[in-house]
Amino acid sequence: PPSIDAGILTVMASFSSWNGVKHTGNKTLLTDVLKDRLGFTGFVVGDWNAHGQVDGCSNVSCPQALNAGLDMYMAPDSWQGLFDNTLKQVEGGEIPMARLDDAVRRILRVKVKAGLFDRVAPPVQGRFERVGAPDHRALAREAVAKSLVLLKNDGVLPIKAGAKVLVAGDADDIGKAAGGWTLSWQGTGNTNADFPNAQSIWSGLKEAVEAAGGKATLSKDGSFTDRPDVAVVVFGETPYAEFQGDLQHLEYQPGDKTDLALLKTLKAQGVPVVAVFLSGRPLWANPEINASDAFVAAWLPGSEGGGIADVLVAGKDGKPRRDFTGKLSFSWPRRADQGPLNQGDAGYDPQFAYGYGLSYARPGKVAQLSEVSGVSGASANVDKYFVAGRAPAPWLLSTAGGVTLTAIDAAAQEDARLAAWTGPGALLVNGPPADLTRQTTGDLSIALTYRVDAKVAGPVGFSVSCGEGCAGGVDVTKIFAEAPVGEWRKTQIKLSCLKAAGADMSRISSPVVLSAQAGFKLAFREIRLEPTDAHVACPGS
């Protein structure tokens, strides 16, 4: 009510449901409550094809939403069919003309109030010189420091004055620290240069360590020549937004525990390890906690990485410059199948309870944690087809026809494969049928990190398959023909291109079918789904 009284002009109906009824088609909420009882005079807009989720609707036909009180459909890729059907539904009386007039009137009212019909440019409001102002950044840095939650500390924190500190993992990646909906939809495809005046976690640690008389070295893979006194490993979730963040369960890196391997490698060399975990939520990370001497839940600190160093690194006097004050605002799971996990629920049994958080003033001992996740990692791998040297369950890597596979080294031992075509044949990834409809609508691509070892001999095709008569493929000959021999590269094949070629994306059992002729040699080290880069088009278009 205060927002409506303040004069807001638009409201978005979410994908959510109330008592089983989708908001986009809920007349009680949109019309009876929002417009009539609360007096909202602006317009209600839908979310991305959300009308298609209303009972009895599709993306191209949903009179129920307009009749319920929706004024503007969000139909990015379905608008033509939706327009035609809505027009017929109005002409046939299924949608009353009065309801259509009301929707149009509300939209025009908002445009008039916004000055869109004035023949002058609207005034520029706001003090843009205050964006990124020093006092704003200082407040953000303070928020980072206060949000950190110390889950474990076996005496390694704070990092002592004069220490030699190895900083590993994703410490110099501001985009990863910022998460989704940052510059780009999924928060991916950005570099540190896209964040002017921001400070990465690495930069903040380096600054603090050197100020205390120590030395900091950045090594993403954790390798070193000069033995460090302590290693800070920054790792966590790849940025995500909306459904790309959906999880089948709470296990971190199921079936693909590359970050755990890095922690264990450092521990095996006798180096004390401080884990700084980046995530948008608590995740089951017991193996990673066990492999660390200290474990900090850093959430998504964003652009002020120095706030982490403020708490982790001691001053020249050896005393903490700032203590941990953060407490868990969500319960931390004991098993990966514990979701939801809320204080007060029957059988409430978290690993770390709501409100937990250690500090230098209030230390605590964390015993060895159970590494039984309670789930199978296979269900979480709908978007990972080949990572860390293998196809994670439930996927299987195979060949058909004249293709041989050999394990090779790329960034690590046997983390890649070399496919050699001795005759016509295909490289395949097979598994149980997976529904990739949302990923297709969300403009995701199958990304292949590859190296051409022998030039293309004949055509190369990429397709997905869902069984007899429903495959869809594209010609990717040009991609591999233009790639330099011996150079690692990455390409993306949009799921929407494969759908347009005839694939039924609701039941994909072979998400990778790469076919070629004799003489072609291709090394690959990663195949997975990811957000499509802005410049990617369908092959041949």
Handedness of CA 252, 254, 259, 262 (dihedral sign): positive
CA distance 113 to 118: 10
32, 47, 154, 323: the catalytic one is 47
- Architecture label for domain 134-312: 3-Layer(aba) Sandwich (3.40)
DSSP H helices, 298-436, are 306-312
Asked if residue 142 has pLDDT above 70, the reply is: yes
Residue 541's pLDDT band, with cuts at 50, 70 and 90, is: low
Q: Note if the bond before 394 is cis, omega within 30 degrees.
A: yes
The answer for residues whose C-beta is within 8 angstroms of residue 28's C-beta and 6 or more apart is 21
State the pTM of this model: 0.76
User: Percent of the chain having pLDDT more than 90?
Assistant: 77
Residue 378's pLDDT band, with cuts at 50, 70 and 90, is: low
pLDDT of residue 122: 66
CB 429 within 8 A of CB 476: no
Q: Could you read off the pLDDT of 23-58 as tens digits, one per residue?
A: 999 999 999 999 999 999 999 999 989 999 999 999
DSSP bridge partners of 407: 417
Neighbours of 270 (CB within 10 A): 7
Asked if residue 375 has pLDDT above 90, the reply is: no
Residue 379's pLDDT band, with cuts at 50, 70 and 90, is: low
CB 149 within 8 A of CB 328: yes
pLDDT of residue 512: 96
CB 158 within 8 A of CB 148: no
pLDDT of residue 131: 81
pLDDT of residue 48: 87
Q: Could you read off the pLDDT of 85-94 as tens digits, one per residue?
A: 999 999 999 9
Return the CATH number of 381-531, one of 2.60.120.430, 3.10.250.10, 2.40.110.10, 3.40.50.720: 2.60.120.430
For the record, the structure tokens of 158 come out as 């704070």
Residue 377's pLDDT band, with cuts at 50, 70 and 90, is: low
105-109, 381-385, 464-468, 529-533 — most confident range: 105-109
CB 498 within 8 A of CB 505: yes
Residue 391 region, left (φ>0) first, then alpha (ψ -120 to 50), else beta? Answer: beta
> What average pLDDT score do residues 284-312 get?
98
* Nearest CA-CA partner of 366 in 377, 376, 352: 352
Tokens 């525990």 sit at which residue?
A: 257
Query: Has 129 been annotated as catalytic?
Result: no
pLDDT of residue 443: 82
For the record, the structure tokens of 484 come out as 């330099």
Total length of the chain: 541
CB 22 within 8 A of CB 15: yes
* Nearest CA-CA partner of 303 in 201, 217, 234: 201
CA distance 507 to 470: 10
Q: Write b or e for each residue in 126-138: b if 16 or more Cβ atoms lie within 10 A of its Cβ, otherwise e.
A: eeeeeeeeeeebe
Query: Has 94 been annotated as catalytic?
Result: no
Q: Could you read off the pLDDT of 56-79 as tens digits, one per residue?
A: 999 999 999 999 999 999 998 889
102, 207, 229, 242: the catalytic one is 242
Domain ranges of the chain: 2-113, 134-312, 381-531
CA distance 156 to 233: 13
